[in-house]
Amino acid sequence: MFKSASSVERLANRLARLPGIGRKSANRLAFHILKLTKEEAFELADTIREVKDKVGFCTVCNNISETDPCQICTDPKRTKNIICVVEETPDAAAIDKAESFNGMFHILGGKLSPLDGIGPDDLKISELLARIHDGDITEIILATNPNVEGEATALYLSGLLKPLGLKVSRIARGLPVGSDLEYADSATLSRALEGRQEF
Amino acid sequence: MFKSASSVERLANRLARLPGIGRKSANRLAFHILKLTKEEAFELADTIREVKDKVGFCTVCNNISETDPCQICTDPKRTKNIICVVEETPDAAAIDKAESFNGMFHILGGKLSPLDGIGPDDLKISELLARIHDGDITEIILATNPNVEGEATALYLSGLLKPLGLKVSRIARGLPVGSDLEYADSATLSRALEGRQEF
């Protein structure tokens, strides 16, 4: 594409390997980075280096963190005996942002996906069981994604956890707030009806 | 978002400032960069630095380049007396990729846009006139974008260039190859009819 500047071409190739960035977006981004001031571009480059240098994973909950254990695991204001199990860090971040949950998290690092060769041993499930074994956990909220693989993962986990005498719950699936019943898909509508609650 | 790792948060903020990357994409990208191997992430950071260190602008055509004049301006196989005028480097790269044009380019560095305060003096128009004055240029192809501002820029340039006794042309506007007449907008259809050519 940018024959006249092979380093821009290389940057575009590098960016195109990131998820959700197609060839054209990568070219556009590379060109924009070229137009940034030197300070801005170097700041971006340095932040990328910093992220890899500083950030690791919390050995308790598997969340990304610059400290170990992470800020959430060590926060004295959070309830220690409820664990919300999610697939990835951004899921935990989204739940935390909603400010309706003040317990602990556990990040599985993925979801069961036999087609991609991802089985229970590839997720942080034994670590979750160890946390339950060691601590005073009363409830596990399964907050994997509401799609086929997320549901399968939740089902598998509930099978493992229920015999331990814990309260095991699944986040509600239903109509998103602000959405339109007319345009909802049937699967969501079925779930919304099944999960109806009394006033 | 990523309370537990402020450098990831900073990276996401930085990425969100790039065009076409919203808040959510920036979070996703930052998280993905975190998951890259150290080598891959450092390679990305270094390429960003390299781009700003190495790449400048060709003093002849204003294209981005690691050399001055750029590879296109110095290529002996290219026709020197036709200049294709475009708004930005990616436009020239797109035309070059189509392999239907083997002349020179001139990158304006933008388009006339009075609402954004961009007038003729903000574009590389005097440089274009100097090239025409100095060289043996026979044709100028105006390849600014086919939108309101691009058309205005082309119209302005044709007004400047025609009195110089050059052939001044505008790229054709019409139905894109592979498109469907039924779904074409009226402006495009009008242009396609106006620009019809005899068999």
CB contact under 8 A, B42 and A34: no
Q: How many CB atoms within 10 Å of residue B171?
A: 16
Interval A26-45: pLDDT, tens = 988 998 898 888 899 999 99
* Distance from C-alpha of A155 to C-alpha of A170, rounded to nearest angstrom: 9
- Judged by CB atoms closer than 8 Å, whether chains meet at B66 and A20 is answered as no
**Homologous superfamily, domain B6-54:** RecR Domain 1 (1.10.8.420)
Which of B1, B38, B47, B71 best tests the A interface by mutation, with the highest count of A CBs <10 A? B47
Q: What is the ipTM of this complex?
A: 0.72
Beta bridge partner(s), residue A85: A106, A142
Predicted confidence at residue A186, as pLDDT, reads 86
Chain B residue with CA closest to A9: the answer is B51
Q: Which CATH number fits domain A58-198: 3.30.230.10, 3.40.1360.10, 3.10.20.740, 3.40.640.10?
A: 3.40.1360.10
Pick from A105, A110, A104, A65: which is nearest to A87 by CA?
A: A110
pLDDT digits (tens, 9 = 90+) for A159-180: 999 999 889 999 988 888 888 8
Cβ–Cβ below 8 Å for B48 and A47: no
Kindly determine whether residue A7 and residue B66, on different chains, have CB atoms separated by under 8 Å: yes
What distance lies between CA B39 and its chain's CA centroid? 32
The angle subtended at Cα A87 by Cα A83 and Cα A89, nearest 5°, is: 85
Q: Which residues of B touch A34 (CB under 8 A)?
A: 51-52, 55, 64
If we measure between CA atoms, which residue out of A40, A30, A38, A21 comes closest to residue B90? A30
Q: How many CB pairs under 8 A join A and B?
A: 168
Distance CA A195, CA B62 (A): 62
Quote the minimal CA–CA distance from B132 to chain A in Å.
22
Question: Which residue from A2, A42, A64 is facing B49, i.e. has the nearest CB?
Answer: A42
CB-nearest to A51 from B7, B18, B47 is B7
Cβ–Cβ below 8 Å for B27 and A90: yes
> How many CB atoms are located within 10 Å of the residue B72 CB?
19
pTM for the model stands at 0.71
Give me the residue spans of the domains in chain A: 6-54, 58-198
Tell me the CB-side half-sphere exposure of residue B99, using CA atoms within 13 A. Answer: 0
- Closest-approach residue (CA) in chain A for B2: A93
CA-wise closest residue to A86 among B30, B70, B51, B31: B31
pLDDT per residue as tens, chain B (199 positions): 566 678 888 899 999 998 888 888 898 899 889 888 889 999 999 999 998 888 888 999 999 888 888 989 999 999 999 999 999 988 998 888 888 899 999 999 999 999 999 999 999 999 999 999 988 899 999 999 999 999 999 999 999 999 998 899 999 888 888 888 888 888 888 888 888 877 7
Contact A93 B58 (CB under 8 A): no
